[in-house]
């Protein structure tokens, strides 16, 4: 009988978020994305996001949500379960959940984070949920890229080889 790795306990269904967040240390940082093929840019960004608060919640696009983003017919490469497991294995990540909508606004409103964070390609005024988080006294950050990486560029490189 296989035993699930401990980090998989960090994966939380949206319906269970409220209960799980009651035990999470604040301030809570919220971020979201596809995180299809985790790379150095993701790892650095997530560590920087966590450093802004005591806990980090990562909301991941479902496979259907990724497909609607127009990233390509073959995306996502990795399934939602695999993407969440890899994120949950990172020390800087406290909880991982998912959303099937085109934006994570419902998760943001449900979790009421103290800080909302996206990567440097997102100006604060275009980050979904920024108005709401600022209205309840939270902060919104666009973290500049330290390592210029992208899953799309990585896949293009692989395809050329």
- Give the pLDDT of residue 70: 87
DSSP string, 72-87: -TT--SS-HHHHHHHH
If one compares 145 and 12, the residue with the highest pLDDT of the two is: 12
Q: How confident is the model at residue 146 (pLDDT cuts 50, 70, 90)?
A: low
| Cα of 83 vs its chain's centroid, Å | 10
What secondary structure letter does DSSP report for 78?
Answer: S
Q: How confident is the model at residue 152 (pLDDT cuts 50, 70, 90)?
A: confident
Q: How confident is the model at residue 157 (pLDDT cuts 50, 70, 90)?
A: confident
Tokens 């996502």 found at: 76
Average pLDDT estimate for 10-29: 97
Domain residue limits, the chain: 9-147
User: Residue 148, CB half-sphere, CA atoms under 13 Å: how many?
Assistant: 1
Tokens 């490469």 found at: 77
Q: Is 92 a residue whose pLDDT tops 80?
A: yes
Q: Which of 43-47, 66-70, 132-136, 152-156 has the lowest mean pLDDT?
A: 152-156
Reduced to 3 states (helix: H, G, I; strand: E, B; else coil), residue 28 is strand
Average pLDDT estimate for 57-74: 93
Query: What CATH number should be reported for the domain whose range is 9-147?
Result: 3.40.50.620
Q: Is 147 a residue whose pLDDT tops 80?
A: no
Residues 6 or more apart from 125 whose CB is under 8 A from it? none
Strands (E), 46-134: 55-61, 95-99, 115-119
């Amino acid at each position: 009988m296989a035993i699930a790795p401990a980090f998989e306990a960090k994966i939380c269904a949206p319906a269970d978020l409220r209960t799980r967040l009651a035990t999470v240390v604040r301030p809570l940082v919220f971020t979201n994305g596809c995180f299809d093929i985790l790379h150095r840019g993701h790892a650095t960004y997530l560590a920087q996001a966590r450093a802004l608060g005591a806990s980090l919640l990562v909301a991941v696009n479902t496979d259907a949500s990724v497909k609607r983003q127009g990233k390509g017919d073959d995306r996502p490469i990795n399934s939602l379960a695999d993407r969440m497991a890899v994120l949950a294995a990172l020390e800087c990540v406290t909880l991982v959940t998912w959303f099937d909508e085109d934006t994570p606004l419902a998760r943001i409103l449900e979790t009421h984070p103290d800080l909302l964070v996206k990567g440097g390609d997102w100006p604060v005024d275009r980050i979904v949920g920024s108005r709401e988080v600022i209205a309840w006294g939270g902060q919104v950050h666009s973290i500049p890229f330290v390592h210029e990486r992208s899953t799309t560029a990585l896949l293009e490189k692989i395809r050329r080889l």
